[in-house]
Amino acid sequence: MSFVSSNEFVPDSIDGQSGHFRVLAEHFSAFVCLSNAEMKLLGDLAEAARYHPPYRDLYVAGASPPPPRMIVAGWACQYRLLPDGHRQIISLKLPGDLIWPLMQVRLPSSCAVAALTELETVSAQPLIEAAASADPIHPGLAHATRVMAHLHDMLLYDQIVRLGRQTACGRFAHLMLELRERLGRVGLVDSDSFAMPLTQDVLADVLGFSVVHVNRTVQQLRRERLLDVRNGQVVLLQPERLQELAGWAPLPGLSVETKTAKRSLATESRTKSEH
């Protein structure tokens, strides 16, 4: 899988096939130790990448779900259009991500999926089948795929918290921290810096802002020397302060459990007198 096969239907190969395998291998290895047979399966998948041009819909809301695929290069998103013309991006899909998380049942989704950049995907059918099986041939792939599905849900929760309860800067910082973590799992982060091929227009639809306000927020974070976003490159200048600003907490169960004081709803004392 280290050779680059002829790719006649791949106008601009974003990355070599070996890069595709690397993404898959790194992403799965982040959750589980794979056997040689499982590695080989990923290698086989990586050889049959399919190209998708940028800004093209991969799935239209309400349609019958196509066979599942996994991104090996490029970014995509899941989004919804409102009658008034507004768009909300539900989630960003990065290399290593499954495009349709819905694996339990083949029902149409209320969200469309579109490529945000040039995109290359491979079939995820074997992974889905492994994860659905009670006694899978490839237990490592099965487990990792289930973990990824769980992580997808956690990301949706994060997105809800961002949109519902965070300030502009906190929202932006939180998203950048999420991207660093996710891209880090597939080896696309280099010392708190990573490529983010999103226009401010797209960022606005992720964060629930107007384009202008995305810009204002970037300016402010830049002025305060917390992070820099420029030419599709993000640099986290002060990750610790960003985490504080964003109320960032690492996902439980993946890294070490943080023993921060957990306040329950019952004992919640968000009363007026507290301030």
Partner DNA sequence: CGCGGTGTTGACAACAGTCAATTACTGTGG
Partner DNA sequence: CCACAGTAATTGACTGTTGTCAACACCGCG
Residues that bind a second copy (CB under 8 A): 55-57, 60-62, 78-88, 90, 101-102, 104-105, 107-112, 114, 131-134, 143, 146-147, 149-150, 153-154, 156-161, 163-166, 207-208, 247, 249, 251-253, 257-258, 262-266, 268, 270, 274
In the chain, the N- to C-terminal Cα span, in Å, equals 61
Nearer to DNA, 142 or 202 (CB): 202
Distance CA 149, CA 91 (A): 13
- List residues bridging with 91 in a β-sheet: 78
**Which amino acid is present at 41?**
L
270 sits near DNA (criterion: CB under 7 A): no
Residue 263 binding target from a second copy, DNA, none, CB below 5 to 8 Å by type: a second copy
Phi-psi bin for 74: left (phi > 0), alpha (psi -120 to 50), beta? left
Nearer to a second copy, 46 or 141 (CB): 141
Would you state the structure tokens that stand for residue 169, as one six-digit string? 């800067």
CB of 274 to DNA, least distance (A): 10
Nearer to DNA, 35 or 167 (CB): 167
188 sits near DNA (criterion: CB under 7 A): no
For 164-176, b/e burial (b = at least 16 CB within 10 A) is: eebebbbbbbbbb
201 sits near DNA (criterion: CB under 7 A): yes
160 sits near DNA (criterion: CB under 7 A): no
| Strand locations in 31-178 (E) | 50-52, 57-59, 69-73, 76-81, 87-93, 112-115, 119-123
Distance CA 178, CA 111 (A): 21
CB of 74 to a second copy, least distance (A): 14
Nearer to a second copy, 19 or 74 (CB): 74
259 sits near DNA (criterion: CB under 7 A): no
Residue 40 binding target from DNA, a second copy, none, CB below 5 to 8 Å by type: none
Print the binding letters for residues 109-148 with DNA: x by CB under 7 A, - otherwise. ----------------------------------------
Neighbouring CB atoms inside 10 A of 84's CB total 5
Chain CA centroid to CA 201, Å: 18
Pick the stretch among 4-12, 109-117, 185-193, 199-207 that binds DNA (CB under 7 A).
199-207
Nearer to a second copy, 67 or 252 (CB): 252
Distance CA 124, CA 98 (A): 7
H or E stretch covering 251: none
Distance CA 31, CA 100 (A): 19
Q: Which residues bind DNA (CB under 7 A)?
A: 167-168, 199-201, 208-213, 215-216, 218-219, 230-231, 275
